[in-house]
Chains A and B, each alone.
Chain A
Amino acid sequence: MMPYLPADLPRLPPGRDDAPWWEALRRHQLVVQRCAACGTWRHPPAPLCARCHATACGWEPVGGHGRVFSYTWVHHATHPALAERVPYNVALVELPDAGGVRLVSNVIDLRPDELQVGLAVELVFEDLEDVTLPRFRPAPLSAGHAPDSAG
């Protein structure tokens, strides 16, 4: 599969606080941090729970069901690697199975007019040479997932 965006976009190396997140993606698992003491979900990764300040946490595998919370189609390339790749989309994907945390991602395999707030999407893993990225595609209608409102 061709990557949705060029593999030479700038990246940060995994750090002490988020290495397990990247390592899980490499195993084709999307995990979200969850406080071991109070159960609060959090993303992006952080070393302690903002609610109860416990540092113990689990990295919980979550289902790949999401819902588009917002999106943009980027037409103006602000990095040389993207000059031939515009327009592309960036979407905020809400994860109902993980307390409603949002991922910055992209929705692939769809026409521009299909991308709408509220669109049900499902996770796909995109393997690059040294990293695996979580992207999404429109979910089949039968897999429509009712988002929970607890987040």
Chain B
Amino acid sequence: MRDRVAIVGVGETEYRPWGGITDRSEFQLACEAILAASADAGLPPHDLDGFASYANDRNDAPRLAAALGCAELRFSGMVWDGGGGGVCAAVAHAAHAIHAGAASTVVVVRALCQGQFGRFGRIGGRAPGRQAAAPSVPPGFAYALPMGLLSPAAMCALIVRRHMHEFGTTHRQMGHVAVAARGHAQRNPRAVMHGRPLTLEEHATARLIADPFRLHDCCLETDGACALILVSAERARDLRRRPVHVLAAAEGGEGAWGASLYTHAAPAPPYPAANLAPVARRLWAMAGCGPADIDVAQIYENFTGMVLLALEDLGFCARGEGGPFVEDGKLEGPAGALPLNTAGGNLAEAYVHGLNLVLEGVRQMRGESTCQVRDAELCLVAGGPGVAPTSALVLRRG
């Protein structure tokens, strides 16, 4: 599959803070993002014949195909559990389907209207004015719930606290991830945090969420939708936009990781980790390049500290070195050595479960980012750290 499939269209709705979109349904947002991606690609929506998503997206492929008037549904794929870890895996599944000949024009979509359905990952929450369904709880949660381990923030805090103990990682180092993202959002008018810059001092003194994480260590909560369309690289040459090739894709994690966000039962080492190391080994092998070749990166930030662990797992620095690695400002684009999350990411642009990170990767490879890295040719994208399965992509300018 290496380099044989390309992203040819991207689309999104507006992004609003939690509960900010009330005039259309989440399903309509999903359709709008797909129509925008179709228009961007110059491909009629009726020709879409495959759908891929992740994290139990509610907007299922058969319903989307019918609503969009697709002539035929040939492929549908959903990544098992893993929350935002599956974002790059959904892109990979679309690419695999095209490469295998199972479908020709596949859309990856994610829509989140948390005001209509409640916070993703929240147990026992209820959206205002709407009867929430009984919480869907994975089995590993049985030993976490009565102990008050209920939120992704607390789960990831346990991993990051252990990392701080073993390697001396500091909360201030995590602040560099937040400040870089917020800085990038000041260049991006689509970003929820556009117009609201952040300093390291503000990061350090914000209210505590789950120690060591404070408010600005945590991803946003957003209403919005994103979509992107893939076709074969051969076909992409004839379409209207510069193709962005899926140079490499990998997903999964340690075999024993299981439901470790709830159970924390993974062997140590690799715990504390992002569970991206096995993914990275296969990713770089397929790509035929390594971290030193990457011009710009989009790494899913559920929480800032987890990004430091992801940088280690992905090979940008050695294990335990994630904190010192980011201290010199290298994450700040467009001129830093490794500009990270150049549209603002989950922390400052929008939390569309990381699919907005893939869209930003595409924009960088087209030369259209609001924080464009000069002559960028290769972009790393990684899905949610700490979960299983997680996933990653290397995108190449076509």
Contact = CB atoms under 8 A, between A and B. Distances in A.
A90 B148 CA distance: 7
A44 B265 contact: yes
A50 B137 CA distance: 23
Interface residues of A, number: 38
B256 A79 contact: no
A50 B256 contact: yes
A90 B122 CA distance: 17
Contact of B161 (A70, A102, A103, A131): A70
B64 interface: no
A6 to B, nearest CB: 9
Contacts of A139: none
A78 B120 CA distance: 12
B283 to A, nearest CB: 26
A64 B149 CA distance: 21
Contact of A70 (B256, B263, B264): B264
A125 interface: no
A117 interface: yes
Contacts of B212: 72
A74 B148 contact: yes
A71 B161 contact: yes
Contacts of B211: 72-75, 87
Contact of A15 (B139, B149, B165, B256): B139
Nearest to B214: A75
Given A12-B145, A50-B256, A102-B264, A79 B159 contact: no
B288 interface: no
B158 A133 contact: no
B146 A117 contact: no
B162 A78 contact: no
Contacts of A27: none
A43 B154 contact: no
A54 interface: no
Given A82-B148, A133-B146, A72 B161 contact: yes
B137 A104 contact: no
A104 B147 contact: yes
A15 B141 CA distance: 12
Contacts of B119: 78
Contact of A11 (B140, B146, B262, B263): B146
A72 B143 contact: no
Contacts of A79: 123-125, 150
Contact of B263 (A9, A12, A44, A73): A44
Contacts of B127: none
A12 B142 contact: yes
Interface string A1-13: 0000100011110
Given A44-B263, A104-B263, A12 B139 contact: yes
B37 interface: no
A72 B147 contact: no
Given A5-B147, A10-B124, A79-B124, A74 B210 contact: yes
B137 to A, nearest CB: 6
B147 A76 contact: no
B147 A90 contact: yes
Contacts of B165: 70, 117-118
B20 interface: no
Contacts of B209: 75-76
B146 A9 contact: yes
A117 B161 contact: yes
A92 B158 contact: yes
A48 interface: no
B372 to A, nearest CB: 36
A12 B124 CA distance: 13
A132 B149 CA distance: 17
A9 B148 contact: yes
Given A75-B207, A104-B263, A70 B162 contact: yes
A80 interface: yes
11 contacts: A5-B146, A12-B141, A44-B265, A70-B161, A72-B212, A73-B210, A76-B153, A76-B207, A90-B149, A102-B264, A104-B264
Given A69-B162, A75-B210, 9 more contacts: A10-B150, A44-B143, A44-B263, A70-B161, A74-B211, A76-B210, A79-B124, A88-B148, A92-B162
Interface of A: 5, 9-12, 15, 18, 43-44, 50, 69-76, 78-82, 87-88, 90, 92, 101-106, 117-118, 131, 133, 135
- The 7 A-B pairs of least Cβ separation, nearest first, read A72-B157, A75-B208, A70-B162, A12-B142, A73-B211, A78-B151, A117-B165
